[in-house]
Every structure is written in structure tokens, then in C-alpha cells.
């Protein structure tokens, strides 16, 4: 899935990390990069955790009212990713699981960004502007 400008939140750090997640998820379904799959799955696992934690820091420092709700969404996704990761390890035929992981990461991220990260970004950028 290609990154599009409509996915931008306007918070540079968040946008950079989102782009990287998309890029990594695409490696999983790129036939020419199959040698990198295990490495990429592990990278994604830790990068997702880092990304969520970085976002949650911004939530806290800006006293975001929906902080707990947003954190729960992150936790649910981390759990889902771990499940898929386990499925991949156990699967005799790995290809379909890789497709599912790609769809899960990209599909979840798209929805999450459009709805929840953008909502936070509006709040955060406004708060920075007004200095309150």
C-alpha cells in the first residue's frame, strides 16, 4: 500500500513513523524481499511498540482527554499483531499469513490514522499554537 498525503496528521514525528510502518509492511508481501521476512516481522513488532509509546508520550505531555481510550486501541492492536506473529511461526504455508499481516498492519493503520491519530493531531497542533 502506498503512502498518500491524505494520511498525514501534520505532526512530523508521527507521520515519519507511520510512513516507516507502511514501508516495512510492504516488504512482507514483496516477492523480491522474501529473505528479509523474519527480520521485518521482528522489526515491525518493536517499531510498532516504539511508535505507540512515542504517540502516548505526546498524549500525556499535552494532557489529551482521550489518552486512555487511544492507549487501549494501541494495546488491542499489539495483541492482534502478536497473534498473527504466532500464526506465522506455526503456519506450514507462510505466504497467506504474510498477506494477512500486511493487510492487518496497513488496514488497521489507515483506519486508526484517519480517525484517531488525526483527531489527536488537531488537538495537539491547536494546543501548541495557543500555548495552553
Q: Closest approach of Cβ 73 to Fe ion, in Å?
A: 7
Q: Closest approach of Cβ 109 to Fe ion, in Å?
A: 9
DSSP 57-115: HHHHHTT-TTHHHHHHHHHHHHHHHHHHHHHHHH-SSHHHHHHHHHHHHHHHHHHHIII
The smaller minimum CB distance to Fe ion, of residues 17 and 102, is found at 17
The answer to whether residues 94 and 88 touch, using CB atoms and an 8 Å cutoff, is yes
Tell me which residue of 104, 110, 118, 112 sits closest to 4, measured CA to CA: 110
Residues 108 and 113: their CA atoms lie apart, in Å, by: 8
The smaller minimum CB distance to Fe ion, of residues 39 and 75, is found at 75
Q: Closest approach of Cβ 71 to Fe ion, in Å?
A: 9
The smaller minimum CB distance to Fe ion, of residues 29 and 58, is found at 58
Name the residues that contact Fe ion, by CB under 5 A.
55, 117
Q: Closest approach of Cβ 106 to Fe ion, in Å?
A: 15
Q: Closest approach of Cβ 14 to Fe ion, in Å?
A: 8
The smaller minimum CB distance to Fe ion, of residues 57 and 99, is found at 57
Q: What does DSSP assign to residue 116? A: I
The smaller minimum CB distance to Fe ion, of residues 88 and 124, is found at 124
Under 8 Å CB-to-CB from 75, ≥6 apart: which residues? none
Amino acid at each position: 500500500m502506498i503512502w498518500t498525503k491524505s494520511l498525514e496528521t501534520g505532526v512530523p514525528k508521527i507521520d515519519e513513523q507511520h510512513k516507516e510502518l507502511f514501508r516495512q509492511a510492504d516488504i512482507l508481501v514483496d516477492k523480491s524481499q522474501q529473505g528479509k521476512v523474519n527480520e521485518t516481522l521482528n522489526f515491525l513488532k518493536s517499531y510498532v511498540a516504539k511508535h505507540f509509546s512515542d504517540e502516548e508520550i505526546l498524549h500525556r505531555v499535552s494532557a489529551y482527554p482521550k489518552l486512555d481510550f487511544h492507549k487501549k486501541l494501541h494495546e488491542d492492536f499489539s495483541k492482534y499483531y502478536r497473534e498473527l506473529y504466532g500464526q506465522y511461526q506455526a503456519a506450514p504455508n507462510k505466504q497467506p499469513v504474510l498477506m494477512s499481516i500486511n493487510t492487518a498492519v496497513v488496514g488497521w493503520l489507515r483506519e486508526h490514522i484517519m480517525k484517531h491519530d488525526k483527531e489527536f493531531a488537531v488537538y495537539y497542533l491547536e494546543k501548541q499554537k495557543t500555548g495552553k
